[in-house]
Amino acid sequence: MKVRLLRALQSQGVGSRKVCFHRLRRGEIRVNGEVCEDPEAEFETDGLVFTLDGVDWPYREHACLVMHKPAGYECSHKPSHHPSVFSLLPSLLLERGVQCVGRLDQDTTGLLVFTDDGQLQHRMISPKKNVPKIYRADCAEAVSDAQLDALRAGVQLNDEHAPLAALACERASARGLRLVLAEGKYHQVKRMVAAAGNHVVALHREGIGDYRLPDDLAPGTWRWLDSADLKQLEQPWPSAMS
């Protein structure tokens, strides 16, 4: 598919039409390695790469990326008491309007997905899609068999009409457990563990669907997701983790 250069730059978060026009005219943008000052020039989107300020940006119809969220960051554009996870992203992604796919508490770490694809976001967070979210929780006290059984069977939370049950729950260590949920309700893991008779002191999201947080992705850093990654992210339970 061919696209006019000015429209392509706008779609990739470079800036407004006026900003893109002037940056092209000043020769600040390379297209496939060459300076192009013609905003009406047409290019094939397949393999298209822009270079801005020395950084290459491959053309992507949708922005889909994963971050290793560090502790002490809020998943909000208007944080209350801590810095925003969006401050860890480059301005081009912010201009594209990427949003978190499900939020993590400020003290929770691990896998956090961002995208500007509303349909993808819906498929990943809708309980009807049954996409599992995998958490590792470290608890204040030893995890008992009774607590594991309660989490699997369902615990009653104050503001819920019916008990909430984990898709799966297992002991990960003496004071740790691995919990799989299909929903993403407010403080859900912490509240469920509390209702079962324990207390979460540290929480980490390890995976979504069949996708796991890469071992080499350092806290506070991000990377693009490819089509294979996205397929893994949308894998429903119970086919995921098989």
Does residue 215 carry a catalytic annotation? no
Q: Measured between alpha carbons, how far is 45 from 25 in angstroms, rounded to an integer? A: 21
In the DSSP assignment, the letter for residue 155 is B
Catalytic position from the list 46, 105, 116, 117: 105
Residues designated catalytic? 105
